[in-house]
Amino acid sequence: MKKDIDFFENTTILIVDDNPTNLKVLSNAIAHSGCEILVSIDGESAIEQAQYAQPDLILLDVMMSGIDGFQTCQKLKNNSATQDIPVIFLTALSDKFDKVQGLLIGGVDYITKPFQVEEVLARIQVQLKLRYLTKQLEAQNRHLDQRVEERTKELSQALNKLKQSQLQLIQSEKLSSLGQLVAGIAHEINNPLSFIVGNFEFINNYLSALINHLQLYHQHYPNPNIDIVENANFIELEQLIQDTPHIISSINTGLARISNISSSLRTFSRIDISNKILFDIHEGIDSTLIILSHRLKYNQQRSQIEVIKNYSNLPLVECYPEQINQVFMNLLANAIDALDENSQNLLDRKLNNNNMINTITITTGFNEDKKSVSINFKDNAMGVPLEIQEHIFEQFFTTKPRGKGTGLGLSISRQIIEEKHNGSMKCFSVLGEGTEFLVEIPVK
């Protein structure tokens, strides 16, 4: 603290005395110190004045007509607007002044009349100094409280950030091991698949050549040996020749489907890519749909889910395909979960859900102005109540039973879209009608 603080500077002192001569003498004495003086000639007006003028100190005569000094002091102390203002009692030597009571009801000191100017000023100064220090202490405490609060906030923010990055780490670790697994499987399938597909061409050609050859044989030797006729009957040669093209085409379809799945697995995982690349969003959605295809099929609760694709012409998007596919996976899996839950709810309420058509509508678009693509996933399940909508992007928030929901899907997805791709992700939902998730990603 500075030594040369003038405690009288900028201070206001209220003097209360019902004797005008006393008032005058006292105020003249104090006025030299440089502080502002207010006066009151009775208790009631002193209380009023103290309330609006907020003096730094009150000099209060004890013996006054009307309410006396003690009562006035008591009222000041009972009023929150004036209770902190220090009160020094003024008392005549002849008065029977009860010092103890005066201090008990909140007075800080007393001055006896007739007084010595130096003593009055010294006592006032002590009180002003005390008040100044108390105020400083309070201000410092407030500042300290504020600092503590700020630090606490900073720390909890840091903690949150840490938690989030830890979560992201766990998730990306999980993702990359899942990605590795998927890529591994795709590779393992792809190898034998390629020689099956390659050789299938040959076997197909060989078979038709053999059949042609048989038919040529039959043409030139219409009456073969009895053993040959019997064997032809035994193996149902006619039927066999008729069926063979169908079998071939069915195998062909199966092979095409496996190839499709295998390449989807590869598109989905894309773990070979550690930086952003130009990616076909539709390819990502389609490969995710293929991986989820078993969940789209009908089940015990509901009919098959119809996936309606409203694809627009999209430019390639610079992104991490593995992460973007993960977002599509989370949103589609949530929509399927919701459709399952909705159907189960209807069944639980013994309502017929036979004619309910479960749909997931995927709409994509390109915004020329914003230079961003939008992908909208919309389901026609039960929707999300408003009070739940506020929380769905929070980590660990789930309405699903233990073991089923982790509450991480949407928070991770939002992080991927907003933090890794500078995009945005929003949820719109009408209760009883369905839910939409709108993802926007800038193209570059």
Identify the sign of the CA torsion 236, 241, 242, 247: positive
Q: List the one residue out of 199, 209, 186 whose CA is nearest residue 262.
A: 186
Residue among 105 and 331 whose Cβ is closer to Mg ion: 331
Query: Any contact of residue 335 with Mg ion (CB under 5 A)?
Result: no
Query: Any contact of residue 334 with Mg ion (CB under 5 A)?
Result: yes
Q: What does 365 bind: Mg ion, ligand ADP, none (CB cut-off 5 to 8 Å by kind)?
A: none
Query: Any contact of residue 331 with Mg ion (CB under 5 A)?
Result: no
- What would the x/- binding string for ligand ADP be over residues 319 to 358, using CB under 6 A? -----------x---xx--x--------------------
Which residue's Cβ lies closest to Mg ion?
A: 409
Sole window of 132-140, 240-248, 332-340, 424-432 interacting with Mg ion (rule: CB under 5 A): 332-340
- Phi/psi region, residue 116 (left: phi>0; alpha: psi -120 to 50; beta: rest), is beta
Total number of residues binding Mg ion (CB under 5 A)? 2
Choosing from 39, 384, 416, 439, the residue that interacts with ligand ADP (CB under 6 A) is 384
Choosing from 398, 418, 438, 443, the residue that interacts with ligand ADP (CB under 6 A) is 398
Residue among 254 and 385 whose Cβ is closer to ligand ADP: 385
Q: List the one residue out of 27, 32, 2, 29 whose CA is nearest residue 14.
A: 27
Q: What are phi and psi of 430, to 5 degrees?
A: -115, 125
Spatial separation of the C-alpha atoms in residues 208 and 214, rounded to whole Å = 10
User: Between residue 60 and residue 119, which ones bind ligand ADP under the rule CB under 6 A?
Assistant: none
Residue among 129 and 400 whose Cβ is closer to Mg ion: 400
Distances (CA, A) of 181 to 177, 184, 259, 289: 6, 5, 18, 18
H-assigned helices in 221-320:
226-234, 237-269, 281-291, 293-296
- Bridge partners of 59, per DSSP, are 15, 88
Residue among 7 and 393 whose Cβ is closer to Mg ion: 393
Choosing from 301, 399, 424, 428, the residue that interacts with ligand ADP (CB under 6 A) is 399
Query: Any contact of residue 284 with ligand ADP (CB under 6 A)?
Result: no
Which residue's Cβ lies closest to ligand ADP?
A: 409
Query: Any contact of residue 288 with Mg ion (CB under 5 A)?
Result: no
Sole window of 136-144, 181-189, 274-282, 400-408 interacting with ligand ADP (rule: CB under 6 A): 400-408
Q: E strands of 271-423, at which residues?
A: 277-279, 305-310, 317-319, 358-367, 372-379
DSSP state of 231: H
- Bridge partners of 435, per DSSP, are 379, 429
Query: Any contact of residue 409 with Mg ion (CB under 5 A)?
Result: yes
267, two tokens? 């598109």
Tell the smallest beta-carbon distance from residue 289 to Mg ion (Å).
16
Tell the smallest beta-carbon distance from residue 336 to ligand ADP (Å).
9
Cβ atoms within 10 Å, residue 166:
10
Cβ atoms within 10 Å, residue 128:
22
Distances (CA, A) of 155 to 13, 142, 189, 424, 430: 46, 20, 50, 27, 38
Query: Any contact of residue 437 with Mg ion (CB under 5 A)?
Result: no
Chain residues binding Mg ion by CB under 5 A are: 334, 409
Chain residues binding ligand ADP by CB under 6 A are: 330, 334-335, 338, 379, 381, 384, 388, 392, 397-400, 405-411, 435
